[in-house]
Structure 1
Amino acid sequence: MHPVLIPGLLVLGAFTGFCAGLLGVGGGMLMVPFLTLLFTGMQFPDAAIVHMAIATSMATILFTSLSSVRAHHKRGAVRWPIVLALAPGILLGGLIGGGKIFSVLKTGWLSLMFAGFVGFSALQMLRSRRPPASRQLPGPAGMVGAGSVIGMVSSLVGAGGGFISVPFMTWCNVPIHNAVATSAALGFPIALASVVGYVWGGWNETGLPPGSLGFVYLPALAVIAIASVLTAPLGARAAHSMDMGVLRRVFAALLLCLATYMLWKAWQTF
């Protein structure tokens, strides 16, 4: 990797790390387009560029999630019983999605469907419609099922799962601050399972550039991870100082950006 690219990757890592702490998202939707452009300029194999951008983006969440969740945990905001209930399904879904499905699946229809889901969730947040007070998180089987969906979809689009898990938890009457903090904690099992799948799925791929571990490009991962680990606690601190209404609107705005990106991705595929 050319040294001139390092400052840009440091800025990208710093920004996505701050977003991870602030909103409980891994920053994958921000990193994937940038890394796709970067890998295209570096003349990586055309068939592997998007796969490597998604895999490298997800691998950075292994680091940002740990830094972010440490800051949230100090403030007592992480709902660890929710993490434990969702984690088994997340690991299963991440392994399935990040493995062979990821290497062969065209995600046009998936991107279109979840653009609709994310956009709907954003509009609901902007309208500040509160769910019925009686609505609670589902039982053990429902949590495993929800975790499987979160893990699989996250591994296929290279995101930390916050764009699904935060709306899911707030829909079940989990306060937004707790939902963001808990989503940050969920980022690690999502990333771990997905990265194992990416390495497995890309292990026998030919023509990948030096420095690749499966579909993960290690030089870019190292630079982004260094910056993001430093800024994630700053984002977590900002999240706890913000009014809940403001935080909800910021998250809704991000969801609309993600929905737009996924529509664009689906359009490219079709």
Structure 2
Amino acid sequence: MFESLDISLLLGLVLVLIGTGIFGGILAGLLGVGGGIVIVPVLYNTLPYFGVGDDIRMHIAVGTSLATIILTSISSARSHYKKGSIDVDLLKRWGPFIFLGVLGGTALASVANAAVLTGVFAVLALVVAANMAFRPADVHISNQLPRSPLKEAIAVFIGWFSAMMGIGGGTFTVPILTLFNYPIRLAVGTASAIGLIIAVPGTIGFLISGFSVPDLPPGNIGYVNILGFLIIVPMTMLFAPVGVHIAHSINTNALKKAFAFFLFLTSVRMFYSLLS
């Protein structure tokens, strides 16, 4: 497959992946989203140029995104931890339930068709973007997280749908925590660590579930594309601390608007791909 590609097309893909890694890394540090909100749609739209079928390209995009989030989350979480913006107690309480959600979401994604994964990504991204863009900053449903079992159910939800979307968890963690009057910088920092809990089992699941799938592109191990991983990861790790620095330098309102803006663009792109 790669042998028959035009060299200019291959170079263009490499440049796109480099740019994706840079942008995704900054977003990982800035918004705690692990970069997946950028990586998934970019891979989804570039994989067809390599002859990847519509029935597996979303799975590859999600699996590869989760793999890149492992190292990106480590880099981002370390930077946030040094700034004291990670709630370790919340991680201990939510971690096991997020993990269970990831297992369920990964199992479902492995048997779902591409349209289902694309639809899930588009709908949930749009809902979260609308919440962050239009919810007044001083409006909260409570000043603390709900009691059990709703608190644990929220954690399962975050893990389940983050795994299906190939994102690091910040897409849900940040708006949910701020809905309960959680400081946004602490929410972003904690979300970066949650990304690691999501990405490790999610990646393993996509590696295993796609291992015997026919017609995978060269360089794939299961649903994880090694070329994309090798290009994107160094860029995301290098630029995640830049995002962390920005997150601690701009006002809270701008941070929310940036989060909503990128989610909205991603949702529109995925809706367009699904409908066309």
TM-score by length of 2: 0.87
**1:47 aligns to what SS in structure 2?**
coil
1:87 matched to 2:87? The reply is no
Q: CA deviation at 1:21?
A: 0.3
1:241 matched to 2:249? The reply is yes
2:55 to 23, 47, 51: 47
* Residue in 2 that maps onto 1:130: 139
Aligned residues: 266
2:102–2:201 Cα contact (<8 Å) kept: yes
- Sequence identity percentage: 32
Q: Which deviations, in whole Å up to 9, do the C-alpha atoms of 1:172-207 show, x marking residues without a partner? A: 111011111111111111111211211121122122
RMSD of aligned Cα (Å): 2.2
Q: CA deviation at 1:163?
A: 1.4
2:126–2:264 Cα contact (<8 Å) kept: no
1:256 to 234, 251, 264: 264
2:220–2:226 Cα contact (<8 Å) kept: yes
1:100–1:197 Cα contact (<8 Å) kept: no
Q: CA deviation at 1:143?
A: 3.1
Q: CA deviation at 1:108?
A: 6.0
2:122 and 2:42 map into 1 onto residues whose CA distance is: 21
Q: CA deviation at 1:11?
A: 1.8
* Residue in 2 that maps onto 1:7: 15
2:110 to 89, 102, 117: 102
- The structure 1 segments of at least 4 consecutive aligned residues displaced by more than 4 Å after TM superposition are none
1:20–1:26 Cα contact (<8 Å) kept: yes
1:28 and 1:45 map into 2 onto residues whose CA distance is: 21
Distance of aligned partners of 1:247 and 1:228 in 2 relative to their CA distance in 1, 3 Å threshold: same
1:137–1:172 Cα contact (<8 Å) kept: yes
1:114 matched to 2:124? The reply is yes
Q: Which deviations, in whole Å up to 9, do the C-alpha atoms of 1:77-111 show, x marking residues without a partner? A: 11111122221121111122112543324246634
Structure 1: gaps (5+ residues): none
2:58–2:117 Cα contact (<8 Å) kept: no
1:25–1:159 Cα contact (<8 Å) kept: yes
1:200 matched to 2:208? The reply is yes
Q: Which residues of 2 match residues 56-71 of structure 1 at below 5 A? A: 56-71=64-79
Structure 2: gaps (5+ residues): none
* Residue in 2 that maps onto 1:188: 196
Q: CA deviation at 1:227?
A: 0.8
Q: Which deviations, in whole Å up to 9, do the C-alpha atoms of 1:43-62 show, x marking residues without a partner? A: 12332112111211121111
1:100 and 1:156 map into 2 onto residues whose CA distance is: 8
TM-score by length of 1: 0.89
